[in-house]
Amino acid sequence: MIVTTQQGMGQVALKELATVLSELDERFNSLNFLGEQVFFLPDNLDAQQVNEVKGLLGVAGIYSPPLHYQLASSVWRKERTGFLVDDIGVGAGHFQVMAGPCAVESESQMDAVGRKLRDCGVKFIRGGAYKPRTSPYSFQGLETEGLKIIREVADRYGLKVITEVVDRSVLDDVLYYTDVVQIGARNMQNFFLLKELGRIDKPVFLKRGMAARITEWLGAAEYIISHGNPRVILCERGIRTFDTELRNTLDVAAIPLIKSLSHLPIFADPSHGTGDRKFIKPMALASMAAGCDGIMVEVHPVPAQALSDGQQSLDFAELESLVKSLNSLKKVLPTL
Ligand code: PEP
Ligand code: MN
């Protein structure tokens, strides 16, 4: 259950409310959700308790969202959540493209990508320094060296960094260099890692697990938010279905579904969502039309030479064409 408070409520009234809630359920907790003080309890209160809380000074609303994704739910928060990454808006009407190679491979590769992104007006550069690969014999990433490269290139071209953290042991390393932390599909339900991400003060880009139900995905977001970090961005990156023709099935319907269930920003990743560069543009446009807040896409100077995911990486001409098409579509789309 969620209890929201009125704007500008004083410390004394907040404390009084906290005292009453702790008497009703000692597991109550509080969170500053982007400026709004919110109390949340693991269970719903009964009707008599609700009346008691309703009568307290400063209570704005009492809500009963689905219990395992309360803070992520749109039941208590009607407006779309948006926030700044430094000076760059994410969510709530700010459409963003996050682009770059699957993996950081070298300074020259990243420099070429960074310059191209700047020229295309893309604000976020992506690239993994720790790569979760299916085979232990595949390229595993440049680790700290890769983080340094992506940071330096981003600073050179005025970009923000998004990169993946695969384990708690490298979280501090990643946090030092990145602006946004990516949690990959394979780690979506690594609950101990998610709890750690609740304690950081950087946004988390939470990819959908490859066989995750929508409610499991929102439950994963809840882990991060309920541990103190409200800045969560969801990303639909394709799921496993019975069909094997494409690497994954991009679940475009998840975009409006998430928007009806949750206030969190929702992105789409048509690179992993299809596994084939031919289908990136149509699926990116379809995702934008479905109402997503941004696209993550893989780009490489020479996709055929990429050390990972080259077949689902755009070359520079294709990236330019994609960005142009997204900009044109944005102009004619109705607001969803
Ligand atoms: C990636 O973004 O390179 C990646 C590994 O994605 P996912 O976790 O969606 O497979
Ligand atoms: Mn990849």
Structure confidence by residue, pLDDT tens digits, 25-80? 999 999 999 999 999 999 999 999 999 999 888 999 999 999 999 999 999 999 99
Closest CA to 178 of 168, 164, 192: 164
Rounded to whole angstroms, the Cα distance separating 42 from 160 reads: 36
The predicted structure's pLDDT at residue 281 = 98
Residues 76-83: contacts with CB under 8 Å, at least 24 apart: 76/2, 76/4, 76/38, 77/33, 77/263, 78/263, 79/263, 80/259, 80/263, 80/265, 80/293, 81/34, 81/230, 81/263, 81/264, 81/265, 82/265, 83/34, 83/203, 83/231
Query: Which whole number is the average pLDDT over 296-316?
Result: 98
Tell me the pLDDT of the chain averaged across its residues. 97
- Asked if residue 160 has its Cβ within 6 Å of ligand 1, the reply is no
Is residue 10 predicted with pLDDT exceeding 90?
Answer: no
Closest atom, ligand 1, to C-alpha of 126: 2
- pLDDT confidence tier of residue 8, bands split at 50, 70 and 90: confident
- Asked if residue 194 has its Cβ within 6 Å of ligand 1, the reply is no
- Asked if residue 272 has its Cβ within 6 Å of ligand 1, the reply is yes
pLDDT tens across 78-137, in order?
Answer: 999 999 999 999 999 999 999 999 999 999 999 999 999 999 999 999 999 999 999 999
Q: How many CA atoms lie within 13 A of 212 on its CB side?
A: 26
The predicted structure's pLDDT at residue 57 = 87
- Asked if residue 237 has its Cβ within 6 Å of ligand 1, the reply is yes
The predicted structure's pLDDT at residue 141 = 97
Ligand nearest to the CA of 311: 2
Query: Which whole number is the average pLDDT over 296-321?
Result: 98
The predicted structure's pLDDT at residue 148 = 98
Q: Choose the residue to mutate in 182, 187, 271 for probing ligand 1, maximizing ligand atoms within 8 Å of C-beta.
A: 182
Is residue 272 predicted with pLDDT exceeding 80?
Answer: yes
Is residue 317 predicted with pLDDT exceeding 80?
Answer: yes
Is residue 336 predicted with pLDDT exceeding 70?
Answer: no
What three-state secondary structure class fits 275? coil
CATH classification (class only), 83-332 = alpha beta
Is residue 335 predicted with pLDDT exceeding 80?
Answer: no
The predicted structure's pLDDT at residue 9 = 87
- Asked if residue 247 has its Cβ within 6 Å of ligand 1, the reply is no
Q: What is the value of pTM for the model shown?
A: 0.98
Query: Which whole number is the average pLDDT over 298-318?
Result: 98
Is residue 334 predicted with pLDDT exceeding 90?
Answer: no
